[in-house]
Chains A and B, each alone.
Chain A
Amino acid sequence: MPELRLRLSGIGGQGIVFAGRLLAQALLEAGKHVTLRYAYGAEVMGTPVHSELVISSEPILCPYFEKADVAVVLHPRACAEAISGLSPTGLLVLDSGVNAQGKIPLKVRVEVRPFVALSSRDRPGDPGRLAPVAALGFLAKLGLFPLDPLLRAASTGRAAEENLEALKLGFSL
């Protein structure tokens, strides 16, 4: 696997940091080299949050990158930063609630899926806390990384059942 630079973007409270850690843990256990960096605002909730991962078969020299190969955007407020930080030939995975029309460079491949709506449909008041995990399932479906290590990593913890469900939901989209 060549080095993959992935940026997951949303807002505070959506679980962007959790999803980054889940993916990192899964791929480390699958024998990959992974670095994770997250960035957030001073506010507790509601401002853009990014999890940035470098995934490689080789040791990683630098965990910091400007242009991602793949960007996942799960909230409109994180959209502008995420698109400006995407490679001009990268892959942009958008939640259906994010309107990026007219802002996306021509050569960027775009996939739009209802991660937030579907993952929170039976959860009144949920701003989409499982959407980032569902998006990981979708990235696995696209072949960026295998699903099995993610399922194993998600099978522990307090919200194991919900996370496994979200991964499977994302994989089915």
Chain B
Amino acid sequence: MNHSEKKFWSGNIAVAEGALAAGVDFYAGYPITPSSEIMEHMARELPKRGGIFLQAEDEIAAIFMLIGASWADAKPMTATSGPGFSLMQEGLGIAVMTETPLLVVDVMRAGPGTGQASKAAQGDLLQARFGRHGDQILPVFAPFSVQDCFDLTVFAVNVAEKLRTPVVLLSDELLAHTWEEVAVPREVERVERRRPRNMEPPFGSEDPRIPPPMPRLGEGFGVLMTGSTHDPWGFRRTSDPGTHRDLVTRLWEKIWRNRDWLCRYQAFGLEKAGVGIVAYGSAARSALATRTLLSGKIDVGVVVLQTVWPLPEEPILKLAERARFILVPELSLGQLIFDVERIVAGRCQVLGFGKIGGGVPIYPEELAEKIAEEWR
């Protein structure tokens, strides 16, 4: 990227600007703390740039507006937080089944229920991955800095278009309301979805890694679109086991078999790691500062996960081969740790560091203290 201009943005503004840079031209949503600044920014900026902004009556309407807009050739997005994200799960499931590109940003706050509206948490990780019913998978990304809020949103929008899939960007209240300098590139890559040529089927693909082309509704191409099991031409096949198996397997493999480039992470000091930290989101910032705090005393390797589903397993394995133990800090009672334990599979000890309530960040000093205590 050709970074050309510095801006002082919050995480929420950086997400909105990243989406605009990537070509998002449709936003529908319902305001909810701590995501509302994204909606406010899009309400101001989208119409100026030729896009469409709609305040929906609720989050259910918003997600279905995104589906409609996407099929009408828009690059759509919405932003919400826990309670709204729960309401959007049905629509996200339909978007998976109909292979509809769209971006949902979930700025995590403390739940369950309405919880603590303005306080940070990381309790939606498992919901972002598995919140829909049925066998399904969609990519989930999680920025760890305001710069990453911009960069990763651009990537997420492009993934949605490239793989013809809904994607989720998991931010959290701490990131949303943290302001930092962002290097804004003059231009960013914009992926455009593939259009059908010569009557290609809109729901079938010989290579499961490559999504079928997506027709633009209303342009002379009759499309059957349904959330029920369908064949490559969109005809409902709700009793045929083979069609269901082929479709659901292909939708899964479309994401799973692209893991090599979908799985983004940053790794620090893995080669000499005596101790490892695996983290994402705002907790990853504290993890990086912990590494510096302990420098010269304990070699800490850090894996910052930017893709949190599917998971980058290779750097975690590398860490597990060298570290005496791996610490997993998260603003929840423990969600990411399940995966780290599965991946590490006994190669070293995995310790959780969960913290909840009141939006209090995980501080580097407390991570350093925990590591020093376990190191003895």
Contact = CB atoms under 8 A, between A and B. Distances in A.
Q: A and B from one assembly?
A: yes
10 contacts: A24-B8, A35-B178, A36-B179, A37-B179, A39-B118, A40-B118, A63-B285, A64-B286, A64-B361, A64-B364
Interface in B261-290: 282, 285-286, 288-289
- Interface core residue of A38, A40, A64, A65 (most chain B CB under 10 Å): A64
B296 to A, nearest CB: 16
Interface residues of B, number: 25
Given A37-B179, A41-B118, A42-B116, A28 B8 contact: yes
Contact of A63 (B8, B116, B180, B362): B180
A66 interface: yes
A39 B292 contact: no
Interface string B75-119: 000000000000000000000000000000000000000001111
B174 interface: yes
B359 interface: yes
Interface in A65-102: 65-66
B363 A64 contact: yes
A33 B180 CA distance: 9
Given A25-B8, A38-B177, A65 B363 contact: yes
B376 to A, nearest CB: 23
Nearest to A85: B360
B192 interface: no
Nearest to B284: A62
Contacts, number: 55
A61 interface: yes
Contacts of B179: 21, 24, 35-37
Contacts of A63: 178, 180, 285
B292 A42 contact: no
A34 B8 CA distance: 9
A38 B118 CA distance: 11
A42 B358 CA distance: 11
Contacts of A28: 8, 181
Q: Sort chain A's interface into a size bin.
A: 20 to 34
A1 B289 CA distance: 19
A129 to B, nearest CB: 21
Contacts of B8: 24-25, 28, 34
Contact of B288 (A37, A41, A62): A62
B33 interface: yes
Given A63-B285, A64-B286, A66-B365, A42 B117 contact: yes
B295 to A, nearest CB: 11
A37 B118 CA distance: 13
B359 A39 contact: yes
Nearest to A20: B179
Nearest to B292: A61
Contacts of B181: 28, 33-34
